[in-house]
Amino acid sequence: MRKKILIGVITILCLSKKGYSQSDVNLPFVWENATIYFVLTDRFENGDTSNDFAYGRAQNGPPLRSYEGGDLQGLINKLDEGYFDDLGVNAIWITPPIENIYGSISAGYAFHGYWAKDWTTIDRNLGTDDLFKIFVDTAHKHGIRILLDVVLNHVGPENSVDQNQTWPDEWVRRSPNCNFQGPQGTIPCELVDNLPDIRTDSNDDVSLPGWLLSKWEQEGRRTEQESELNDFFTRTGKPRSPRNYIIKWLTDYVRKYGVDGFRVDTVKHVEEFVWKELEAEGIIALREWKSNNPNKKLDDLDFWMTGEVFNYNAPSMGRSFTGDGFNVDYYSNGFANLINFEFRFNANQGLESIFSRYDNLLQNQLGDGKSAMNFLTNHDTDQVFDRNREKTFEAGTKLLLTPGPAQIYYGDETARTLTPGGGADGDATLRSYMNFNELNNPNSLASLTLKHFQKIGKFRREHIAVGAGKHTKLQDSPYTFKREYNKNGFEDEALVYTGNDNDFTGALNVFGIWSDGTELQDYFSGTLATVSNGTVTFGTTFGLVLIGKPTLRILGVEDINTLSPSFVKAWPNPFANSVKVSFLSSAIKLEDVELEMYDLLGKKVIEDGSLMNIQGNIIEINTPNLTKGMYLMKVSFNAQNQVFQLIKE
């Protein structure tokens, strides 16, 4: 008999890679299949109203050009709510969180983060250094990587109220303005008037400005900051040039907090060799953090960089950016990925035209782990797909099913307005506040669009073949395609049918991808079915069918067998600093046993083999770092499963 115990549910995952059983925190991940959520932190969620007016800032700028209250605590709250999990997001790109200039200029305040003042600390409108650490840790607990937006091209404007603290001429140039005619008209110049250009080409030793040292002194950080700089320049042997100071400060966010990668701003406005230097230091920093935090790291992947080379049109240009008089392969200069400005136009084409073109881009034109990040809307570009939010379902389908990494701009998934009115103009129209309030109505466009994005997003997150696999069209009517991935020890397949509502209520051909008896899931309807005679029947009324092996399985409380275990036991229960697992037959080989331990939120809490000691046929698991509470342990051997409810005192 089975006894129902009120303890919630737990997530168990069975992956195709042999020997893997893990939580969704550790689903197979490659950047080519990443779903990256790009958020202007100040415009997303206000989790702490006490920091809304840091540094004496006010909401007196032009429309939508003041700080609006969004902060790191708001992001943490949404992580804890599972908002990003439900959307299938596995990476979050946040605008630069570093301390920006305090006051306003005619263009408003630095809510966007691109007007740097002090690279060494978090802007207090967004939170604190300690809160940033919590944010990164929280994201990692959800299996979500963090991309930090970084600026190495310019400092903030100099005519704000606090800019009696200007950067010396040896640090920046203030003329000429860029004319965007080739590298000489794009790199050694001010991007726009009043954004002093960092002398990234300089190898001269320069001193820190006195106002910055005084600032650190007042904050009680000067000794620490100077000591760290001395260590950095001693280790690297690099000159104390402007770019090397900033590279050190930027990679500190990797070394100290475990940031997984950078989105680099204004790439073509800086000499390309600088990006190789930044990448090299990022790799060193992330390896150091992972070595020091083995229980926090998500994987052993290296530091990853994507870059904004404005108007890089990936399928048309391939590996080399050939606009504005340039001919530069940035992929060979530090970048694994570049943001693709062409997809927003290609999205007007049919599905097969898009998918086959981007499959060729990913598999052939770029190759070797390189990719281009597709987007439909962003914070800078007026020419976006579906500006009036009239084709939100089409947008979600095309963005999330196209080969390569996908960038969701905050609110794409909720039809957030890109035409806010109220006097907002220019890029401010793209930066309205997040419309969570519209989700209160389950029949609103916001709610219906979100559900659509969630279904495809979860399919994409749980199946790396969707974004990273080889695309093959199987038939034109109804349009059907498959994706297949077989790299890095992982195998995965996905099959998609597209059409109209009620087209797919009957049996669907699986084209030999899976054998009879295989259980499959349609991620759009949520239905499970088993392959029979080469077909599968979900009975779905939707016009989109997303088929893959179910990786997310829910083990409910009724699955806990309270009878005597058939082949294994666990004790003591309750336990303190360790729990032991033994097997009732000496014939059981421990290398054939899979053991998983989870908390009631579905997080896998035992991941490090060093925590397990094996003696004879007993496995002892050290648990000193587990908090008090209830846990579930699943032990599997030879198609037998036993789930234990355990209590830590």
Q: Which residues are catalytic?
A: 265, 308
CA nearest to 280, candidates 243, 315, 312: 243
Alpha carbon 317 to its chain's center = 26
Sequence-ordered list of residues with C-beta below 8 angstroms from that of 445, at least 6 positions apart, any chain = 389, 392, 415, 438
Spatial distance between the Cα atoms of 390 and 275, rounded to a whole number of angstroms: 39
Sequence-ordered list of residues with C-beta below 8 angstroms from that of 137, at least 6 positions apart, any chain = 258, 296
How big is the CA angle at 577 (ends 573 and 582), to the nearest 5 degrees? Answer: 55
With H, G, I as helix, E, B as strand and everything else as coil, classify residue 644.
strand
Looking from the CA of 37 toward its CB, the CA atoms found within 13 Å total 29
- CA quadruple 160, 164, 165, 167: dihedral sign: positive
Q: Is 544 in contact with 526 (CB distance < 8 Å)?
A: no
Q: CB neighbours (10 Å) of residue 625?
A: 9
Environment class of 434 (CB within 10 Å of its CB; exposed 0-12, middle 13-18, buried 19+): buried
How big is the CA angle at 242 (ends 308 and 132), to the nearest 5 degrees? Answer: 60
Spatial distance between the Cα atoms of 362 and 318, rounded to a whole number of angstroms: 10
Q: What are phi and psi of 281, to 5 degrees?
A: -70, -35
Q: What residues pair up with 289 in beta bridges, in sequence order?
A: none
CA nearest to 404, candidates 372, 378, 369: 372
With H, G, I as helix, E, B as strand and everything else as coil, classify residue 418.
coil
